[in-house]
Amino acid sequence: MNQTPENSGREVAIRLRGIRNQFGSHVVHDDLDLDVYRGEILGVVGGSGTGKSVLLRTICGLQTPSAGTIEVLGTDVRTADEDTRVDLEHRWGVMFQDGALFSSLNVRENVEVPMRAVAGLDPHLRSALADLKVSMVGLPYLAGDKFPSELSGGMRKRAGLARALALDPELLFLDEPTAGLDPIGAADFDTLIRSLSLSLGLTVFLVTHDLDTLHATCDRIAVLAEKKVLVTGTMNDMLQVDHPWVHEYFHGPRARAATASADELAQTGQKER
Amino acid sequence: MDIDITTSGSPVRLVLRGALTIAQVSGLTRRLDTIDATAPVVADLSGLERMDTAGAWALVTLRTRLEQAGQSLEISGASDQLVSLLKTVTDALPQPETEARHPTTLRTRIEAVGKAVVQTAQFLLALISFFGLFLARLARAVRHPSEFRLTALVHHCEDVGLRAVPIVALMSFLIGIVLAFQGSSQLRQFGAEVYVVNLLAISILRELGILLTSIIVAGRTASAFTAAIGSMKMREEIDAMRTLGLDPAMVLFVPRILALILMLPILGLVSDVMGLLGGGLMAWVDLGISPAMFVTRLVEGTDISHVAVGMIKAPFFAVIIGIVGCHAGMQVQSNAESLGRMTSSAVVTAIFAVIVADAVFSVFFAQIGM
């Protein structure tokens, strides 16, 4: 958000080259390349077991690849020293599938956790800023006092998002943001991600299964298959791809329903204008 | 970050330059707080390089304060991105609301005590009704043997009984040694070392053997029951059983509690034997009481009623441990914290209940003269 957008949208935020991940003899990624541009929302899709979440964990440093280079915001993650890495970690936020909130802290304290790393921040300011983040993700004020076990699944995800946004990261990683939400909650979450990414200028790396999310939020889509990123492009590009899995994914009955509803939305939007 | 505030004249001019992020927000709010809400403020953001939500929050808070005092904050020189960020923060600005706090008065304290008493009574009632359920299902198993899970019973007997033998045996052996050693050093003062045999026999056979075994089993087995049943409850396996026409009490509780009832007396016996063995060894080494002498004194000085008093308690303790463990497992909710909480509470409750029951038995046996 704070950088001057030189050749806007084409500046690379995440650059992966030749990534190889394997568990024992099971190879998940082999020679995988991917670029994520600054300011875009990239949706990563793929069948179960194609290593979407593994890829996300690899970029955040939770999983060490056996080969390849990872460059995030201009820093090589694997060769960076400790201090550089810590600085980098303050520039990204990760939302895990079920929020991954600390169960012994309430929501406000959870959001304050990353803020504690900021030197010289008054405690009452910190909690006021935490309240702001809680409210920005659409949670009611009193939710800040609640513990994760007292929240519904959708609220936990929102609280997890608030914690990921605590330090105004440039990069946001979302793991299955809409999984397990009802359609209304999922649509709300899509809108929330879209509007936050616009107003905060976020780059979003989003792993999902949800075709509606792809339609509603993502600028670009990357398909994981055959151990690499098979194809990247916009939704329209995806519809042209011949690969059987990709074709099945974007032309199946669910995909047709999602496309239809997205078209409908676009039309009503135009009429209103 | 560089802040210039020109208070002379109206409007007040506020010029911000540099970076305005969460790291600078403490200093920024301190400066902004010095602005009196007596004149309108014009903020010039044209020199601003970066601003995040924390910086925007500080400006929006200032604006709210000014507007409440009837003044205004005009923002000039902001880029489109800053304007949209300010708008996002303005829209999201939380409206603090507080839940009505109840002051602690004498009345609320008495109420809390009353609630605790009622909860305890309800807990005891629940345990008793759980025991009733167990008896009912046991009676049903007798009438319909085909519904009874023999394999599960054998499995739990192995788990509860056989696998506990090493730790129970070692513990009793060591307790026997300690008792003999401490007893002999006291009794030696008036030359009554030989009575160490009676001391060992009575304390181990009547009390310590079965009580310590029960405490070990409560720690080992009650927690295992709670964890096993609780994790099934968490994953809705118990609900699945009910919808499939299986009775959780018959399938899960009866084999477990029955296994405990069968195994605890045997473990108690093992404990008695090992305790006497350890005591005998110590008496031989330390006091020179030969094994033959030890056995003679043991048989002469110890009535069989001591063994009976110890063994009668075993099934009661077994029922207490089993009921507490299974009941706690059924109280687990769908989150992992409650599983941990109920497991530790099951162990504490089971050990406590066993000791209380032991005290009641002591008074009872004393009254009937056993």
Same-domain check for residues B88 and B147: no
Q: For residues B86 and A200, is the Cβ–Cβ distance under 8 A? A: no
Q: What is the pLDDT of residue B100?
A: 64
Q: What is the pLDDT of residue A5?
A: 39
Asked, for residue B109, whether it belongs to a domain, the answer is: no
Asked, for residue B118, whether it belongs to a domain, the answer is: no
Same-domain check for residues B74 and B213: no
- Residues of A with a Cβ under 8 Å from any B Cβ are 1-2, 103, 115, 118-122, 125, 128-129, 131-136, 141-142, 145, 149, 165, 167-168, 195-196, 198-201
CA-nearest residue to A196 within chain B is B88
CA distance B90 to chain A (A): 10
Which of chain B's residues have a Cβ under 8 Å away from the Cβ of A145?
99
Q: What is the pLDDT of residue A272?
A: 52
Same-domain check for residues B227 and B306: yes
Give the number of other Cβ atoms within 10 Å of residue B129's Cβ. Answer: 11
Same-domain check for residues B348 and B280: yes
CATH number for the domain harbouring residue B23: 3.30.750.24
Q: Domain boundary residue among B34, B68, B92?
A: B92
Give the residue carrying structure tokens 């087995």. B221
CB contact (8 A) between residue B57 and residue A128: yes
ω into B11 cis (within 30 of 0): yes
Which residue in the set B57, B88, B337 is minimally distant from A149, CB to CB?
B337
CB contact (8 A) between residue B88 and residue A200: yes
Task: Please choose, from the candidates B203, B162, B163, the residue with its C-alpha nearest in 3D space to the C-alpha of residue B180.
Answer: B203
CA distance A250 to chain B (A): 34
The separation between the first and the last C-alpha atoms of chain A, rounded to the nearest angstrom, is 28
CB contact (8 A) between residue B54 and residue A168: yes
Q: What is the DSSP string of A95-149?
A: E-TT----TTS-HHHHHHHHHTTSTT--HHHHHHHHHHHHHHTT--GGGGGS-GG
Task: Please choose, from the candidates A261, A234, A250, the residue with its C-alpha nearest in 3D space to the C-alpha of residue A43.
Answer: A234
Q: Is the ipTM of this complex over 0.90?
A: no
Q: What is the pLDDT of residue A239?
A: 83
Asked, for residue B328, whether it belongs to a domain, the answer is: yes
CB proximity B41 to A under 8 Å: no
Tokens coding A153: 């699944």
At position B238, the amino acid (one-letter code) is I
CB contact (8 A) between residue A149 and residue B94: no
Region of A227 on the Ramachandran plot (φ > 0 left; ψ -120 to 50 alpha; else beta) = left
Q: For residues A219 and A41, is the Cβ–Cβ distance under 8 A? A: yes
Same-domain check for residues B159 and B82: no
- pLDDT tens for A33-81 read 888 888 889 999 888 888 888 888 888 888 888 888 888 888 888 888 8
At B161, is the secondary structure helix, strand, or coil?
coil
CB contact (8 A) between residue A128 and residue B81: no
Task: Please choose, from the candidates B306, B319, B321, the residue with its C-alpha nearest in 3D space to the C-alpha of residue B216.
Answer: B321
Same-domain check for residues B167 and B79: no
Asked, for residue B103, whether it belongs to a domain, the answer is: no
Q: Domain boundary residue among B92, B127, B153?
A: B92
CB contact (8 A) between residue A149 and residue B87: no
Tokens coding A62: 């939770």
Alpha helices per DSSP H over chain A: 52-59, 82-89, 107-115, 123-136, 153-164, 183-200, 211-217, 235-240, 244-251, 253-272
CB proximity B89 to A under 8 Å: yes
From the candidates A199, A200, A202, which should be mutated to test the interface with B, based on the most B CB atoms within 10 A?
A: A199
Asked which of A192-196, B252-256, B363-367 is least confident by mean pLDDT, the reply is A192-196
At A187, is the secondary structure helix, strand, or coil?
helix
CB contact (8 A) between residue B88 and residue A131: no
Which of chain B's residues have a Cβ under 8 Å away from the Cβ of A199?
84-85, 87-88
Question: pLDDT 10s digit of each residue in chain A, 273 long?
Answer: 333 334 444 788 888 888 888 888 888 888 888 888 888 899 998 888 888 888 888 888 888 888 888 888 888 888 888 888 888 888 888 998 888 888 888 899 999 988 888 877 888 888 888 888 888 888 888 888 888 888 888 888 889 989 998 888 889 999 888 888 888 888 888 888 888 888 888 899 999 888 888 888 888 989 888 888 888 888 888 888 888 888 888 888 777 777 777 777 777 655 554
Mean pLDDT of chain B: 89
CB contact (8 A) between residue B23 and residue A118: yes
Rounded distance between C-alpha atoms, residue B218 and residue B224, angstroms: 9
Tokens coding A46: 């793929």
Q: What is the pLDDT of residue A225?
A: 85
Give the number of other Cβ atoms within 10 Å of residue B21's Cβ. Answer: 20
Q: What is the pLDDT of residue B12?
A: 81
Three-state SS string across B185-207, please? HHHHHHCCHHHHHHHHHHHHHHH
Asked, for residue B55, whether it belongs to a domain, the answer is: yes
Alpha helices per DSSP H over B144-253: 150-160, 165-187, 196-202, 209-217, 223-234, 237-243, 248
Q: Check pLDDT > 70 for residue B99.
A: no
CA distance A49 to chain B (A): 23
Same-domain check for residues B170 and B71: no
> How far, in Å, are A109, A145, B94 from residue A127 at the CA level?
8, 11, 12
Q: For residues B78 and B51, is the Cβ–Cβ distance under 8 A? A: no
CB contact (8 A) between residue A119 and residue B50: no
Backbone angles phi, psi at A9, to 5 degrees: 85, -20
Task: Please choose, from the candidates B126, B151, B159, the residue with its C-alpha nearest in 3D space to the C-alpha of residue B263.
Answer: B159
Confidence of residue B61 (pLDDT cuts 50, 70, 90): confident
Strand partners, B80: none
Same-domain check for residues B46 and B150: no
Rounded distance between C-alpha atoms, residue A92 and residue A260, angstroms: 34
Mean pLDDT in residue range B22-36? 83
Asked, for residue B115, whether it belongs to a domain, the answer is: no
Same-domain check for residues B70 and B157: no
> How far, in Å, are A68, A263, B222, B328 from residue A31 at the CA level?
7, 36, 52, 52
Rounded distance between C-alpha atoms, residue B285 and residue B22, angstroms: 74
Asked, for residue B302, whether it belongs to a domain, the answer is: yes
Number of domains in chain B: 2
Domain that holds residue B24: 2-92
Q: Domain boundary residue among B76, B92, B108?
A: B92
Asked, for residue B135, whether it belongs to a domain, the answer is: no
Rounded distance between C-alpha atoms, residue A170 and residue B355, angstroms: 60
Q: Check pLDDT > 70 for residue B224.
A: yes
Q: Check pLDDT > 90 for residue B114.
A: yes
Which of chain B's residues have a Cβ under 8 Å away from the Cβ of A149?
335, 337
CB proximity B335 to A under 8 Å: yes
Backbone angles phi, psi at B104, to 5 degrees: -80, 115
Same-domain check for residues B25 and B163: no
Give the number of other Cβ atoms within 10 Å of residue A192's Cβ. Answer: 18
At position B178, the amino acid (one-letter code) is V
CA-nearest residue to A147 within chain B is B337
Q: What is the DSSP string of B267-315?
A: HHHHHHHHHHHHHHHHIIIII---HHHHHHHHHHH--HHHHHHHHHHHH
